[in-house]
């Protein structure tokens, strides 16, 4: 999974999506119902860093795969929705299978 730009995007997308669900499902209720605002501060910070990593991985995958602006925007939009990265992961897996690593290595030189 980590050998291709799309694989790296998929991995960080799943981790980022889990952090988003933890933020919404655990940290926010702790803040509002248990008066623990530090839960949102900590999980929100981690989620923010992961989201920035996701955007960077998306741009790298876009360049490597020559994705259209529309497809790149759709993947970014999916990251803004709580379960979006899980939904779009199947399509990204197909994109990853179409990635020819030998051609990519040859173009690096």
- The tens digit of pLDDT for each residue in 50-93 reads 999 999 999 999 999 999 999 999 999 999 999 999 999 999 99
Residue 99 and residue 4 in contact, taking contact as beta carbons nearer than 8 Å: yes
Rg of the chain over Cα atoms, rounded to whole angstroms, equals 16
Mean pLDDT of the chain: 91
Residue 79 and residue 12 in contact, taking contact as beta carbons nearer than 8 Å: no
Q: Classify each residue of 20-31 as buried b or exposed e, where b means 16 or more C-beta atoms within 10 Å of its C-beta.
A: beebeeebeebb
State mean pLDDT over 22-44.
96
């Amino acid at each position: 999974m980590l050998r291709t730009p799309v694989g790296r995007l998929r991995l960080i997308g799943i981790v980022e999506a889990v952090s988003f669900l933890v933020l919404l499902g655990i940290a926010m209720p702790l803040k509002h119902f248990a008066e623990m605002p530090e839960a949102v501060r900590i999980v929100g910070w981690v989620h923010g860093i992961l989201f920035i990593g996701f955007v960077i991985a998306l741009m790298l995958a876009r360049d490597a795969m020559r994705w259209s602006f529309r497809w790149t925007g759709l993947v970014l939009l999916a990251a803004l929705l709580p379960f979006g990265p899980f939904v779009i992961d199947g399509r990204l897996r197909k994109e990853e299978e179409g990635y020819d690593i030998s051609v990519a290595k040859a173009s690096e030189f």
